Amino acid sequence: MTEKFEKPYNPQETEKKIYSLWEESGFFNPDNLPERHKNPFTIIMPPPNANGSLHAGHSLFIALEDLMIRFKRMQGFKALWVPGADHAGFETQVVYEKKLEKEGRSRFKMDPKELYDEIMQFTLDNKSFMEGQIRSLGASCDWSRERFTLEPKIIKTVHETFRQLSSDGLLYRGERLVNWCSKHQTSLSELETDSEEKEDKFYTFQYGPFQIGTTRPETKFGDKYVVMHPNDERYKEYKHGQKIDLEWINGPITAIIIKDEAIDMEFGTGAMTITPWHDATDFEIAKRHNLDYEPVIDFYGKLLPIAGPEFEGKNITVAREEIVKKLDEKGLLIKVEENFKHNVKVCYKCNRPIEPQVKSQWFINMKPLAQKALEAVERGEVKFVTERHERIFKHWMENIHDWNISRQIIWGIPIPAKICDECGEGIVDLDDTITKCSKCGGKVKQDTDTFDTWFSSGQWPFATLNFPEEKDFQEFYPTDVMETGHDIIFFWVARMIMFGIYRTGKVPFKTVYLHGMVRDGRGKKMSKSKGNVINPITISDQYGTDALRMALLVGNAPGTDMNLSEDKIRAYKKFANKLWNITRFVLDNTKDLEEVDLDSEKIKSLRNSKPELLNLEKIISEITEDMENHRFHLASEKIYHYAWHELADKIIESIKETIESTETQLMIFDILQKTLKVLHPFMPFITEEIWSSLPIQNKKLLLIERWPQSL
RNA sequence: GGGCGAUUAGCUCAGUUGGUAGAGCAGCGCAUUUACACUGCGAAGGUCGGGGGUUCAAAUCCCUCAUCGCCCACCA
């Protein structure tokens, strides 16, 4: 027995060495693979946000994608796994702002360029740190093709898509109601807001002859339209457009009656006043009837001059009670209903209420894009694992809204457009040559906004493969599998399908495999404050990467959240050790064999006669089928069960008597080498390490050995 | 208000096309210095949330109820 087969197995010493061995071999790059690897198999890695270190969710996607890539590589595919890093616009800016806050600084007091450069440095530092972590988890991705979302070539692709959307009439700049976060000082897409059930007071005020209900008295200053349903009998004496003089917060005003079917007659009194600038429903009503609208609250959540000298400049949360008090004193407060439950939109990052604001932004008309994507899915060009997610995807796509892609943050890809000072027109300008407004001839200035980061991520598959000009695109697009978390099915997957088809005419990937969230051993969300975070790097140092990967794979059904406990990881560390000891036994007892020729007639005839080998063949073909059908949670369990409870517990025990015979030795050796091959995509380090010690003729790296598929 | 998922051993979860249930951990008895104590052997433990239906046969398909969870939605 060689010296290195001391017990027990020590992953720390092995893993770094093995990874270098792989990297130096060049086989992560499909162009360097041997002749037999002809047909491409491609996965584009979901680029991790370069704003922190890897968490348990990252280790899951690495385990899954590396599993698929290694399996396909062994099967003889020209396997390409493209790594990358995401600048992660808003996400990273939020992380960096927290850092600034801790240091007593603020982004609003910084020169934009200085801020940008600082975040860039922060991102690049995190990026290289993360690359090391991805390596330590054993990812067999092609580092020579690594991409970053802010590199010039990617930006060029993204800009070109923007231009094309514009010339195809799918892009428009419009004054729309946007989701404004007063803390982060940017607009957000629908997906970037959460809905929270809140209990508030519901006020009823006397508004001329009407009683109107509201939860937001602080928005009522500018309200001069009172709306009711056209069929409401209670108000039939009032005509649409009729003017009424009445007493309001700051004195007498003239209100106008509007009849609109959006009003629910059952709710409250069936009459309400509208604040189009700060409410989506109201905005729709105002647009339908061509009504005036003006802002009441500024971008910082403070009341504007329209509120009158008494209230101007006051924070809305403070002003609310004061306004109610004033209305009460004027005898206009009818009643206050406590504990009124309603849903409030909040910023998904800071949970502060979203203040809708009317703002000029770039919007994409999504319906035509969604239509084509739906058709492609309908035709089966993209398949979802699981089917349930396909339904979820379709439902969202069928009800898609226009997408605001403008963000008022510095950290992102600049929007290549000019905005007219005079008329507000937006003009797409990739080459920075436009100086006059094409509509009114007025002066223009550069749009200072950046793209929603998902606008660029949505183009990732074809952008990373250098669409349209280079050979990678020709060879590897459409890619085979997109593996990512089910939580970003709308944010990312849906947009990739739409943009992929839009730009290239082809779907970006054939299969979408969605994994669930990784929770702690008790099913709780991991969070620093709960102290239940499993750091993959610490874990892999402690138990070995192979153990961590197995713990993430076994029994983890696609699309379902999984619980990861240290106990489970520990169990697979034991398994690694078991495998180690199986090898010790086999090598110790097969010294007669010298260099084994795995293609010899002797072995072939054993494979046709020994029940143990026939049985193994059957199990391998089951596992292969599971692998082909994305049932990794079953495949991993089967090979685990085989190695421990069949090979170790039964076969080895039963041959101890006959181990002197060459035939038995050959058989057990063959079982071991096949088991290692099947285990390799799951537990790459230990299997490669053991493989390096096996006496086999014309041995290659296990990384590129043939998958022992029967048939 | 719509849609979806879950409910299986003490705990956390698997169970591919229906053929009378599995893993990890915990726990019980025994064994053993063994390739492996990061061990082996054995036993125990579940009327697969309740009820109804289809079937020769249901954890698996259908209906219904209950509890929990998630997503989507402009009701002031």
Q: What is the pLDDT of residue A266?
A: 83
Query: What pLDDT, on the 0 to 100 scale, is given for residue A710?
Result: 52
Q: Domain holding A231: CATH number?
A: 3.90.740.10
CA A88 from chain centre, in angstroms, equals 10
Q: Is residue A588 part of a domain?
A: yes
Query: By CB neighbour count within 10 A (0-12 exposed, 13-18 middle, 19+ buried), where does A183 fall?
Result: middle
ipTM for the whole complex: 0.91
A638-686 pLDDT, tens digit each: 999 999 988 998 899 888 888 888 899 999 999 999 999 999 999 999 9
Residue A443 located in a structural domain: no
Domain end marker among A329, A347, A365:
A347
A267 CB and strand B closer than 7 A: yes
The residue out of A315, A347, A379 marking a domain boundary is: A347
In this prediction, residue A1 carries a pLDDT of 46
Q: In this predicted structure, what is the pLDDT of residue A561?
A: 87
Check if residue A191 sits with its Cβ under 7 angstroms from strand B: yes
Q: Indicate whether A601 belongs to any domain.
A: yes
Strands A271-273 and A225-228: antiparallel
- Which nucleotide shows the minimum CA-to-C1' distance to residue A215? B76
Distance B76 C1' – A254 CA (angstroms): 21
Residue nearest B40 (alpha carbon to C1'): A649
Q: pTM of this prediction?
A: 0.94
- Alpha-helical (H) ranges within A531-631 are 536-543, 545-553, 566-589, 601-607, 611-628
Residue A630 lies in a domain: yes
Instruction: Note the pLDDT of residue A530.
Output: 73
Per-residue pLDDT of A416-471, as tens digits, reads 999 999 988 999 999 999 999 988 999 999 999 999 999 999 999 999 999 987 78
pLDDT digits (tens, 9 = 90+) for A102-148: 999 998 899 999 999 999 999 999 999 999 999 999 999 999 999 99
- In this complex, the answer to whether residue A272 has its CB under 7 A from any atom of chain B, a nucleic strand, is yes
CA of A69 to C1' of B24 (A): 27
pLDDT confidence of residue A10: 86
Domain count for chain A:
2
Note whether A305 and A312 are within 8 A (CB): yes
Q: Provide residues 284-313 of A with CB closer than 7 Å to any strand B atom.
A: 284
pLDDT tens digits, one per residue of A74-102 = 999 999 999 999 999 999 999 999 999 99
Gap from A560 CA to B52 C1', in Å? 30
Query: CB < 7 Å to strand B — which of 583-602 in chain A?
Result: 584-585, 588
Range(s) of the domain holding residue A296:
187-347
Q: Which of A347, A368, A395 is the endpoint of a domain?
A: A347
Where residue A689 sits, what CATH number does that domain have?
A: 1.10.730.10
- Is A160 a domain residue? no
For A491-514, give one letter per residue: b (16+ CB within 10 A) or e: bbbbbbbbbbbbbbeebbbebbbb
Report the distance separating Cα A275 and Cα A293, nearest Å: 7
Torsion angles phi and psi, residue A315, rounded to 5: -65, 135
**C1’ B72 / CA A634, Å:** 32
Please report which confidence band the pLDDT of residue A711 belongs to, taking 50, 70 and 90 as the band edges. Answer: very low
Confirm whether A110 is domain-assigned: no
* CA–CA separation, A539 and A105 (whole Å): 35
A262 touches strand B (CB under 7 A): yes
* Chain center to CA of A705: 33
| Domain-located, residue A279 | yes
Residue A549 lies in a domain: yes
